[in-house]
Amino acid sequence: MHLPAKWGTWLMAMAVVLASVLLSTWIAGLGPFAVLEKKSYDLDFVLRAKLPKAIAAVHPPAAITLVWIDTPTADFLAKPRMLWPAEFGEVIKAATAGGARVIGLDYYFSYPVTRWDEAADPLFFQAYLEATQHGVPVILAYEREEQERSSEKLVPVYYQAVADGNVGYAELNADPDSYVRTLEWQAKPGQGNQPAPLSFAAKIVTSILGPAVLSKIPAIAERTMAINYYGPRGATFFPISMRKVLEAMRAGDHALLESWFKGRVVLIGPDD
């Protein structure tokens, strides 16, 4: 019995799809249905931009400016990143002068740099204090919520930020296939009456909208939400090189700073 040619083509296509699913299952160490569920979840974001607005409504993202720690900045400063506290202080001052609502720094200093630059840490601390005194919260990220933050006792700005409640952990948990699809907004409750630490993202949001907003997050697991990917890199949130911010600040171009930062959330972090 011979099958029609088109049947053979369909059977071959199904065999390829099945083999792909099995390979993905083996690589990710997941059950086949879990793999299909996650990949279909990813596909939703790819297809959403191509569907009519009547079917997939477009929700504009929040007003966020990304200040990139990038190669042009490294070339401009020409020194190791560990010696940049003063320059991060300049960016904080620039965002404050430009009218930012809140500033988040996703870079962590583990120890003081006074041995190499006596002025760097005090300038960073001064910028933090001036911003917060002007009503602009500055949220500082640290790496993992379960690790002791030794810099709290060594770098003055972290000691102050902890006292102000302006720190948040910036850990992201990837699925077994290395994709990041969820975000934990708060750590597990600790012993006693100690409040559970909030994530970097949650601290930024609550600094604007208050802690009650966390209760409105649609959870998919305990203290965990699904990430809503708005669009492609560089085309969703406004990006600007840290170098350009430093140049504008040093030139006193406040009109340009306002065009970048006024009324916006400002996130400072690496572009990789």
- Please indicate whether residue 33 or residue 50 has the higher confidence score (pLDDT): 50
Average pLDDT over residues 62-66: 91
pLDDT tens digit string along 87-112?
999 999 999 999 999 999 999 888 88
Lowest mean pLDDT among 15-29, 44-58, 145-159: 15-29
Q: How confident is the model at residue 147 (pLDDT cuts 50, 70, 90)?
A: low
Contact in structure between 207 and 102 (CB atoms under 8 Å): yes
pLDDT at 140: 95
Measuring CA to CA, which residue among 25, 13, 44, 1 is closest to residue 231?
44
Q: How confident is the model at residue 4 (pLDDT cuts 50, 70, 90)?
A: low
pLDDT tens digit string along 188-237?
877 766 778 899 999 999 999 999 999 999 998 889 998 888 776 667 88
- Please indicate whether residue 231 or residue 245 has the higher confidence score (pLDDT): 245
Contact in structure between 73 and 243 (CB atoms under 8 Å): yes
Average pLDDT over residues 19-48: 66
Measuring CA to CA, which residue among 272, 245, 254 is closest to residue 103?
245
pLDDT over 80 at 80, yes or no: yes
